[in-house]
Amino acid sequence: MRGCACLSMESRASMAPAPRALPYYVAFSQLLGLTVVATTGAWLGLYRGGIAWESALQFNVHPLCMVIGLVFLQGDALLVYRVFRNEAKRTTKVLHGLLHVFAFIIALVGLVAVFDYHRKNGYADLYSLHSWCGILVFVLYFVQWLVGFSFFLFPGASFSLRSRYRPQHIFFGATIFLLSLGTALLGLKEALLFKLGTKYSTFEPEGVLANVLGLLLASFGVAVLYILTRGDWKRPPQAEEQALSMDFKTLTEGDSPSSQ
């Protein structure tokens, strides 16, 4: 009876409504993210000629894909566990993983675009700080997804192993997101210096718009990380997770599951 009462209380707790301010912060972060994507498109359209694959405009595919994939979609993937608070944990995991897959594919298109553009025009690859950081972020992102899939979606991983790895997964997820933002800012500054040169200091309209884009990128990152670091906004454990925790405690002395 006591166990049933505990599960009933936990079930009611797990269905608790979202904190009052959370939906507003999430909506604000999405507004910022969409504005970042739109401003990137406006910058490329107004000052860089637009986007095309088989022309000199192929390079422009790179910044747009990277912003959509490794900034906007990656940020949204991190927020899944804050937005979907009462859905089944496995459903939330699948959505989290799929958003990362979409982000990775779009970023891969952007990476292929810039290497192909360099090859066609005889430009050197991987000589700048931006390119080094970009490759590092891309590799870390891929490894993070593979390890996360192996631990949390692949059925072979034990509950104990998942519990031990979860804090590292969360830490590296936030770290890679920060590195992605920093790399995007480096790339933006590099693109401006290549084209504008000394004119950058004369408040050229393109430079001003790109500076606004940089501030929007930073603001989106701050909004996402603020939502993630609010302890009282974490996803509450569901009844199924509580039951797994109780079963696990009876079999081992490992830790019970904690919510992301």
CA distance 146 to 151: 9
Tokens of 178: 């920060």
Domain boundaries, the chain: 19-234
Above 60 in pLDDT, residue 253? no
pLDDT, one tens digit per residue, over 17-40 is 779 999 999 999 999 999 999 999
Give the model's pLDDT for residue 155: 77
Among 15-24, 57-66, 204-213, 226-235, name the one with the lowest average pLDDT.
Answer: 15-24
CA distance 34 to 90: 28
Q: What is the mean pLDDT of residues 72-97?
A: 94
Rounded to the nearest integer, the mean pLDDT of the chain is 88
Above 80 in pLDDT, residue 248? no
Give the model's pLDDT for residue 79: 98
Give the model's pLDDT for residue 16: 63
Q: What is the mean pLDDT of residues 213-223?
A: 98
Higher pLDDT, 221 or 1: 221
The answer to whether 99 touches 73, Cβ cutoff 8 Å, is yes
Contacts of 249 (CB under 8 A, 6+ apart): 256
> Any alpha helices (H) in the chain, and if so which ranges?
2-14, 22-47, 61-66, 74-83, 89-121, 129-148, 159-196, 205-229, 239-251
The answer to whether 86 touches 40, Cβ cutoff 8 Å, is no
Percent of the chain with pLDDT over 70: 85
Give the model's pLDDT for residue 241: 58
Q: What is the mean pLDDT of residues 106-120?
A: 97
What fold characterizes domain 19-234? Four Helix Bundle (Hemerythrin (Met), subunit A) (1.20.120)
Would you place residue 236 in the very low, low, confident or very high pLDDT band (cuts 50, 70, 90)? confident
Above 90 in pLDDT, residue 68? yes
Q: What is the mean pLDDT of residues 196-211?
A: 97
Would you place residue 160 in the very low, low, confident or very high pLDDT band (cuts 50, 70, 90)? confident
Nearest to 213 by CA among 184, 233, 237, 238: 184
The answer to whether 10 touches 237, Cβ cutoff 8 Å, is yes
Give the model's pLDDT for residue 15: 63
